[in-house]
Amino acid sequence: MPSYAAPIRDMQFVLDEVLEVSKSDVPGYGVLEPDFTSAILDEAGKIARDVLAPLNAAGDREGCRLENGVVYTPTGFGDAFQAIKDGGWNGLDLPEEYGGQNLPYIMGTAVGEIFVSANMAFNMYQGLTHGAISAILAHGTEAQKATYLPKMVALDWTGTMNLTEPHCGTDLGLLRTKAEPQADGSYRITGQKIFISAGDHDLAENVIHLVLAKAPGGGEGTKGISLFIVPKFMVNADGTLGARNAVSVGKIEEKMGIHGNATCVMNYDGATGYLLGELHKGMRNMFTMMNEARLGVGLQGYAVAVAAYQNALAYAKDRLQGRAVTGAENPSGPADPLIVHPDIRRNLMDQKSFLEGARAFTFWGASLIDRAHRAGDAAAEGMVSLLTPVIKGFLTDKGFETAVNAQQVYGGHGYIEEQGMSQFARDARITMIYEGANGVQALDLVGRKLAQDGGKHVMAFFEMVKGFLKENEGEERLKTEFLDPLKAASKDLQAAGMFFMQNGMKNPNAALAGSYDFMHLFGLTCLGLMWARMAKAALAALDSGSSDAAFYETKLATGRYYMARHLPMTATHLARIQSGADLVMALPPEAF
């Protein structure tokens, strides 16, 4: 049975020493003192270890079930949900006026990593609620906020997002769910939605569905789409629950993973809905929360792999198999532990160096969201908007790969469900798909974000890298191992951008054929930047005579590994990009 311990020291390093949230105000908040943040993370870590992680494998095995229209979550999820409610965890970074604690988003992100690592399927019930709350906060009327938010922040009610229909996921212009205006200002919603995470369950009194549907008069395609609030139970004027609305669960999907979360087919049969935000602006309204939602999925991608890595590491230290080629290291035992073998070490270092870089990258993204949302910082908004598809696409691809690599350490035992390593791989797999499949992220990055605001944000990214290199050029301890590889990666990224500029104008396929490689090239460069910043922070701590020298030396060694063994991949991505679109598009469909 896998276990999980929150990597709080690593998290604090990113918060305090790399992003320095304790040295200057977090926009709209103030200084986040290390004692305060570590107390929060400690508490989250305890719940994760004692309450959530023990339910992870059991929830996977048991799954959810639909009986007589009622969805039941796995045994123990109810009690765990109560613990999350009691701790006020869902409101951590939500406004005080609705019962939240108003902490910065970056703290919600750090706690989120811990909860996802411990039990991703379980955490989705609150995660989806959080997303729905953000939408109502951004677009709801005061009355809507007053009706829904206190209950949702407290997790008395949960939320969902209803976009996908059987015939359309990415291309929402095709959607068929109808919204017919009623005399009382409400709408009758009719249609079928699929793949609705946390669509129904037995954890809360009510479920507030946010539903995309077409109301008359909006025109063709995505222009006609509006966003509606559709409660499972109608809400009376006094806030009590009324009759059941005409929305029901058609079935629970059998999936590859995240079995503990009920992925529902939702049938709307003339259900009562209320317009959220402006009519026919549903797409725009839904996408307001896009950066947060996608950053949250990127976080899931690596957070599941953190748990997988911890267990692979424990197994590698424990399992005796073979002898070190350089001489027995456990001579009194029947064999040496797996971790003595260079290829096992290579695998573990691949995992560790990616995961720590991924955390820094995600937390950085979260800090940009804080600056954008709480301080109206347009540059930060632009930067996180650019980085969001990279965080989502790159971190989930590599997160899944990392979970698979962790499973590999177990050999045959990794394939047996009893050991729990298969679940990490199966759970992580969905993160590459939902909230915009990774190919769609690549398209968003290259087709939209690169050129956004005249290319200002990607230029700002390159300036930032250049600034960092310049600022540290005298630091000989960083030069060969960190600055030079970062410079090379950044140069490859710029060359790829240049290739798109030169070729994409006359042939958009020339850019799009390289979009997936570009997303990875960008991700590698971002993690290279993160590692260079972490190395700098580690050197500063060592120079100041930290009593925890081993911790910082480990950071430096892990960073050196990433720079030397992950970053060279940027050259391959560039070569693929520069090979252009002709090879990709050469075959007519019938020739495949």
Catalytic annotation, residues: 435
275 has which bridge partners?
228
Told to check if 211 binds its own copies by CB under 8 A, we report no
Contact stretch for its own copies (CB under 8 A) within 51-59, 239-247, 315-323, 356-364? 315-323
Question: Cα–Cα distance between 534 and 540 in angstroms, integer?
Answer: 10
Using the contact rule CB under 8 A, the part of the chain among 85-93, 118-126, 342-350, 464-472 near its own copies is 342-350
**Calpha distance 241→503 (Å, rounded):** 59
* Whole-angstrom distance, CA of residue 407 vs CA of residue 423: 9
The yes or no reply on residue 300 touching its own copies (CB under 8 A) is no
Q: How far is the CB of 98 from its own copies (least distance, A)?
A: 32
For 154, other C-beta atoms within 10 Å of its C-beta total: 16
Give which of 449, 352, 355 is closest to 395, Cα–Cα: 355
Alpha-carbon distance values, 14 to 22, 322, 537 (Å): 11, 37, 9
Residues of span 386-415 touching its own copies by CB under 8 A = 400, 404, 407-408, 411-412, 414-415
Q: Single out the residue of 39, 70, 146, 320 in contact with its own copies (rule: CB under 8 A).
A: 320
Q: Are 87 and 43 in contact (CB under 8 A)?
A: yes
Structure tokens at 351: 């995992």
Residue 432 in the binding site for its own copies (CB under 8 A): yes
- For the segment 438-477, give every residue that binds its own copies (CB under 8 A): 438-439, 442-443, 447
**Burial status of residue 257 (CB atoms within 10 A of its CB: 0-12, 13-18, 19 or more):** buried
Residue choice 348, 403, 521, 535 for contact with its own copies (CB under 8 A): 348
Residue among 441, 578, 589 at smallest CA distance from 519: 441
Q: Which two tokens stand for residue 183?
A: 């005399």
Please tell me the distance from the alpha carbon of residue 160 to that of residue 78, in angstroms, as a whole number: 18
Read off φ and ψ for residue 190, nearest 5 degrees.
Answer: -135, 125
Q: What is the DSSP letter of 103?
A: -
Q: Which of 185, 474, 545, 589 binds its own copies (CB under 8 A)?
A: 589
Could you give the CA distance from residue 528 to residue 539 in angstroms, rounded to a whole number? Answer: 16
Q: Quick one: which segment of 204-212, 298-306, 370-378, 502-510 binds its own copies (CB under 8 A)?
A: 502-510
- How far is it, in rounded angstroms, from Cα 555 to Cα 346? 16
**Cβ distance to its own copies smaller for residue 355 or 369:** 355
How many residues make contact with its own copies (CB under 8 A)? Answer: 93
Residue 170 interacting with its own copies (CB under 8 A): yes
CB 111, min distance to its own copies, A: 24
Please answer whether residues 84 and 126 qualify as being in contact, where contact means their C-beta atoms are separated by less than 8 angstroms.
Answer: yes
Closest CB to its own copies among residues 100, 131: 131
Closer Cβ to its own copies, 270 or 439, answer by number:
439
Nearer of residues 243 and 586 to its own copies, judged by Cβ: 586
Which position among 40, 204, 368, 430 is part of the footprint of its own copies (CB under 8 A)?
Answer: 430
**Could you give the string, one character per residue 352-381, with x where binding to its own copies holds by CB under 8 A and - elsewhere?**
x-----------------------------
Q: Distance (Å, rounded) from C-alpha 325 to C-alpha 515?
A: 43
> Does the footprint of its own copies cover residue 69 (CB under 8 A)?
no
Work out whether 558 is an interface residue with its own copies (CB under 8 A). Answer: yes
Nearest to 356 by CA among 152, 147, 588, 566: 566
Which region, judged by CB under 8 A, interacts with its own copies, from 111-119, 184-192, 241-249, 513-521? 513-521
Residues 6+ apart with CB under 8 A from 3: 49, 53, 310, 311, 314
Per CB under 8 A, 167 contacts its own copies: yes
Query: In this chain, which stretch among 11-19, 291-299, 360-368, 573-581 interacts with its own copies, using CB under 8 A?
Result: 573-581
434 lines the binding site for its own copies (CB under 8 A): yes
The one-letter amino acid at 473: E
Site string for its own copies, 255-284 (x = CB under 8 A): xxx---------------------------
Does 508 sit near its own copies (CB under 8 A)?
Answer: yes
Work out whether 512 is an interface residue with its own copies (CB under 8 A). Answer: yes
Q: What is the Cα gyration radius of the chain?
A: 24
- Please answer whether residues 159 and 131 qualify as being in contact, where contact means their C-beta atoms are separated by less than 8 angstroms: yes
Distances (CA, A) of 551 to 268, 513, 539, 547: 55, 42, 11, 9
Interface region with its own copies, contact rule CB under 8 A, candidates 123-131, 239-247, 254-262, 495-503: 254-262
Site for its own copies in 6-25 (CB under 8 A): none
Partner residues linked to 157 by β-bridges: 206
| Closest CB 313 distance from its own copies, rounded Å | 5
488 binds its own copies (CB under 8 A): no
527 binds its own copies (CB under 8 A): no
- Cα–Cα distance for residue pair 105/170, rounded to 1 Å: 27
Task: State the DSSP H helix or E strand holding residue 182, giving kind and residue range, or none if neither.
Answer: none
The answer to the question of residue 62 lying near its own copies (CB under 8 A) is no
Q: Is the dihedral of CA 411, 415, 416, 418 positive or negative?
A: positive
d(CA 286, CA 300): 20
Please tell me whether residue 88 binds its own copies under the rule CB under 8 A.
Answer: no
| Residue number, 77 or 518, with CB nearest to its own copies | 518
Please tell me the distance from the alpha carbon of residue 160 to that of residue 199, in angstroms, as a whole number: 6
Report the alpha-carbon angle 160-165-168, nearest 5: 125
Is position 169 an interface residue for its own copies (rule: CB under 8 A)?
yes
Distance of alpha carbon 187 from alpha carbon 170, whole angstroms: 25
The minimum distance between CB 5 and its own copies, in angstroms, equals 13
Complex with its own copies: residue 474 or 589, whichever CB lies closer: 589
Residue 404: CB minimum distance to its own copies, A: 8
Could you say which of 99, 509, 542, 546 contacts its own copies (CB under 8 A)?
509
Determine contact, residues 222/235, Cβ cutoff 8 Å. Answer: no
State yes or no: residue 65 binds its own copies (CB under 8 A): no
Q: Is 171 in the site for its own copies (CB under 8 A)?
A: yes
- CB-wise, 125 or 400, nearer to its own copies? 400
- Least Å distance, CB 569 to its own copies, is 5
Which residue among 254, 332, 454, 545 contacts its own copies (CB under 8 A)?
Answer: 254
